[in-house]
Structure 1
Amino acid sequence: MALSKDRRIGKHAILLLLSEDSSEHVAMLEQLNWKSCTGKVGAMDTHKVVAAIETAAKKNGVINPDLYRESHALYHAIIEALNGITRGQVQIGSVLRTVGLSFAVLRGNPYENEQEGEWVAVSLYGTIGAPVKGSEHETIGLGINHI
């Protein structure tokens, strides 16, 4: 059950998110038979961030919207990534904070043994702060869950 060095799903999710030109990275991920999508969301409500990421993953075929276990795995990866963004307190608007985030969702098998199955990773990067222009700072988060 060894994690493959060149198939680390969290690392690839972060690289995909931060790459200036993601097309080359996406092509490499497709060779691994991995699925991915990227997007942006800005909100003062946590549920809007979750909804934007879930919608993008479903519309881009990263997860099957008809299988609860896939939506459930994605949800937990999103919440884990939000924990990083919000420093462990998954609250935004209720504590007068707003976020402007880019996200990447990646699905694949990071193990040498294919029988280990697929995992989903969610990476978030952007700003968080008071809802006043110029009162924000950078933030990053990563969540990984098995499907």
Structure 2
Amino acid sequence: MGLNKDRRIGRQAILLLLSDDATSQLQLLEQSNWKGCIGKVGSMEAHKVVAAIETAAKKNGIIDLVYRESHALYHAIIEALHGVTRGQVQLGSVHRTVGLSFAVLRGNPYDDEREGEWIAVALYGTIGAPVKGSEHEAIGLGINHI
């Protein structure tokens, strides 16, 4: 019992994000009754990153328009941003910008269906000064229960 090693939601979100064939990867995940989407966002403002990911998740039917689902997604996004920004979710106010790809994945990573669904947000891209060539790679992962 417990966490199913073949359905670790964070690992699957990162693999989806970094996949060269995300469409096929999404189809495989959907066969396991999971939902997911990918996208890109670039900004000097953290709230724009949050908004882009929330919009993609809503448009792709990953979350319903109820508070608890939006709230779970929000916390997963902020946790992933902590990884990208090294613990301080500040961008433009400290002269940083990001160019990120993201993956959002929803499913049950446990053997017992009663454990319910979880949501994972994976971010990968660059962060740095708003000058071309003054950035470096970064990755972040956030997971929250729904």
Superposition TM-score, scaled by structure 2 size: 0.99
Shift of 1:25: 1.1
Aligned to 1:88: 87
1:23 paired to 2:23: yes
Distance 1:30 1:52 in 2: 22
Shift of 1:24: 2.0
SS at match of 1:38: strand
Aligned to 1:54: 54
Output aligned runs, 1:1-147, within 5 Å.
1-65=1-65, 67-147=66-146
**1:56-101 CA-partner distances (Å, limit 9, x unpaired):** 0000000002x10000000000000000000000001110000000
Identical aligned pairs, as a percentage?
Answer: 78
Distance 1:81 1:20 in 2: 21
Distance 1:145 1:102 in 2: 19
SS at match of 1:127: strand
Distance 1:133 1:22 in 2: 27
**1:8-28 CA-partner distances (Å, limit 9, x unpaired):** 000000000000111221111
Q: How many equivalent residue pairs?
A: 146
Counterpart amino acid of residue 31 in structure 1: Q
Counterpart amino acid of residue 106 in structure 2: R
Counterpart amino acid of residue 98 in structure 1: T
Distance 2:11 2:28 in 1: 14
Superposition TM-score, scaled by structure 1 size: 0.98
SS at match of 1:81: helix
Distance 1:107 1:2 in 2: 17
SS at match of 2:64: coil
SS at match of 2:61: coil
Counterpart amino acid of residue 121 in structure 2: V
SS at match of 2:54: helix
Distance 2:144 2:2 in 1: 17
After superposition, the CA RMSD in angstroms is 0.6
Distance 2:2 2:11 in 1: 16
